[in-house]
Chains A and B, each alone.
Chain A
Amino acid sequence: GQSLEQPSEVTAVEGAIVQINCTYQTSGFYGLSWYQQHDGGAPTFLSYNALDGLEETGRFSSFLSRSDSYGYLLLQELQMKDSASYFCAVRHSGSARQLTFGSGTQLTVLP
């Protein structure tokens, strides 16, 4: 089976940098994705890492270490609108595109 662990809550102030970690256990790992979900809304795709290293997209970056079964999402220059839940998800050999999601990290950005 697959399991993912991420912190349940993170709090930071506007303008700061925050890192949300994700560790996973899975058979046949293909890649790690990150999604953002505002309260009651649809999750939106943020990033996908298949190879080790850092991927940067604007204020958001995502990192993967396959040897450590670990990844993180880095959010810079935090804004109030970044307050949301962030989910890591693994793509695994169970199916070509099936994702298994973590339980999510609730990020609260304070003024």
Chain B
Amino acid sequence: DGGITQSPKYLFRKEGQNVTLSCEQNLNHDAMYWYRQDPGQGLRLIYYSQIVNDFQKGDIAEGYSVSREKKESFPLTVTSAQKNPTAFYLCASSARQATNYGYTFGSGTRLTVV
């Protein structure tokens, strides 16, 4: 079955550490996105990528970095510059030809700073 796989499901980070969240899709979707969700709040866009080797900053990109070397993969690195990284991180993808512009989301990674 096609879908988006995020790993790990839970991640603990020490202060000053960089961590990388994995996102892989086998839907053949062109566009991929990273969102952050804080408790009781909506989703805020961190980065997005429309095609391989190209990505754009979203609303809250500071302290994060991404790469898009393969169509299937869009990893997110949470750097030590991100002062409040504890949150639920969601990866999504969408197809260029989809007329409803629907996103498919992964199951998320819950990151906690310890």
Contact = CB atoms under 8 A, between A and B. Distances in A.
Contact of B106 (A35, A42, A47): A42
Contacts of B101: 30-31, 33, 48, 91, 97, 99
| Size category, A interface | 20 to 34
A96 B56 CA distance: 12
B21 interface: no
Main secondary structure of the interface of B (DSSP, over half): strand
Interface stretch (B11-19, B39-47, B61-69, B73-81): B39-47
A99 B42 contact: no
14 contacts: A8-B40, A33-B101, A40-B110, A42-B106, A43-B90, A87-B42, A95-B50, A97-B50, A98-B48, A99-B45, A99-B103, A100-B59, A101-B42, A104-B41
